[in-house]
Amino acid sequence: MTKWTAADIADQQGRTFVVTGANSGLGEVAARALAKAGAHVVLACRDTTKGDAVARTIGDNAEVRRLDLADLASVRDFAAGIGSVDVLVNNAGVMAVPRRKTVDGFEMQIGTNHLGHFALTGLLLAKITDRIVTMSSTAHKMGSIDLDDLNWENRKYNRWSAYGQSKLANLLFTYELQRRLAAAGSSVKAVAAHPGYASTNLQAHTESVQDKLMAVGNRIFAQSAEMGALPMLYAAAVPDVAGGSYLGPDGLFEQRGHPKVVGSNEKSRDEKTAGALWSLSENLTGVEYTFA
């Protein structure tokens, strides 16, 4: 796995990838790399104008479909229009945004980063032939799952704690999904990844002075989006990745470098919390998983 790069992606001819949030940042980088390797890539974007601009530069291997993860009706419409998929990459997300709600009344970060992708994966599961890759973050370490107040209705809202909760939820979801797939005898795998500290526009939407501070950090400390996308690409395209793996950079504190299997904290491995979060997510989204 040492020094693996996007140039090492095997031929992906005949394979279809859905990448959420592929109109910019890590998703755009991943879509370009997968299409270059021959894959057909569906750019699942809320902003289809930006998505179309990216797709035009990629060429015939890219198509754009509208998907707003903060609107379950949009998620259902998107899923209904998709055929067979080899790999679903749950990449899109928001970080440290001010308190606001999704169309369905969820806190925006848990609603977009976890619940939207939970619903999308469940609705597409029967169409997925290979694997589901979900993006988490080292920020999962500062998260806690409050099953009684997942949407911050009774707590004082803290944007970073809400982000950490959503990224912890991504890992709990991935590990629980893998357990359920394996129990059902499915060959489909669930894998997670994180980009380390990568320079993207994710850090530009806090609508606070933190945007300026993080812009400085991006210039001085962050690795490129091309490097940050490598763990996701490895998780999505390398054949022998094990289900339940978590990929991240191999450098100091997993902030930069080439992809390797990394660990996650004890909270992310709590099977009781994972099962309870799964049930709550099904209830909130109205999407119940069926395992063949």
Q: What's the chain's average pLDDT?
A: 93
Distance CA 201, CA 218 (A): 10
SS3 state at 145: coil
The range of the structural domain enclosing residue 216 comes to 6-284
Q: Residue 290 domain-assigned?
A: no
Picking from 267, 15, 229, 40, the residue whose alpha carbon sits closest to that of residue 140 is: 267
Residue 203 has pLDDT above 50, yes or no: no
pLDDT score for 292: 72
> Per-residue confidence at 208, pLDDT binned at 50, 70, 90?
low
Q: What is the mean pLDDT of residues 151-171?
A: 97
Q: Catalytic: which of 157, 163, 175, 246?
A: 163
Is 289 an annotated catalytic residue?
A: no
SS3 state at 249: strand
> Per-residue confidence at 219, pLDDT binned at 50, 70, 90?
low
pLDDT tens per residue, range 36-80: 999 999 999 999 999 999 999 999 999 999 999 999 999 999 999
- 105: tokens are 């009344």
pLDDT score for 212: 47
The amino acid that residue 241 corresponds to is V
Distance CA 178, CA 289 (A): 13
Q: Residue 244 domain-assigned?
A: yes
Distance CA 137, CA 196 (A): 7
Sheet of 16-20, strand order: 62-66, 40-45, 16-20, 85-90, 128-135, 189-193, 246-249, 259-261
Spatial neighbors of 88 by CB under 8 A, at least 6 apart, are 17, 18, 120, 121, 124, 128, 131, 132, 133
- Note whether 61 and 39 are within 8 A (CB): yes
pLDDT score for 214: 47
Q: Residue 273 domain-assigned?
A: yes
pLDDT score for 2: 57
Q: Tokens 């490895």 correspond to what residue?
A: 234
DSSP annotation of 115: I
pTM reported for the whole predicted model: 0.92
Residue 238 has pLDDT above 60, yes or no: yes
Q: Residue 289 domain-assigned?
A: no
> Per-residue confidence at 216, pLDDT binned at 50, 70, 90?
very low
SS3 state at 86: strand
pLDDT score for 223: 86
Q: What is the mean pLDDT of residues 105-118?
A: 98
pLDDT score for 260: 97
Q: Residue 291 domain-assigned?
A: no
Q: Residue 128 domain-assigned?
A: yes
User: How long, in residues, is the chain?
Assistant: 292
pLDDT score for 179: 98
Query: What's the total number of domains in the chain?
Result: 1
Q: Residue 204 domain-assigned?
A: yes
Q: What is the mean pLDDT of residues 203-213?
A: 49
Q: Residue 146 domain-assigned?
A: yes
- Domain harbouring 205, CATH code: 3.40.50.720
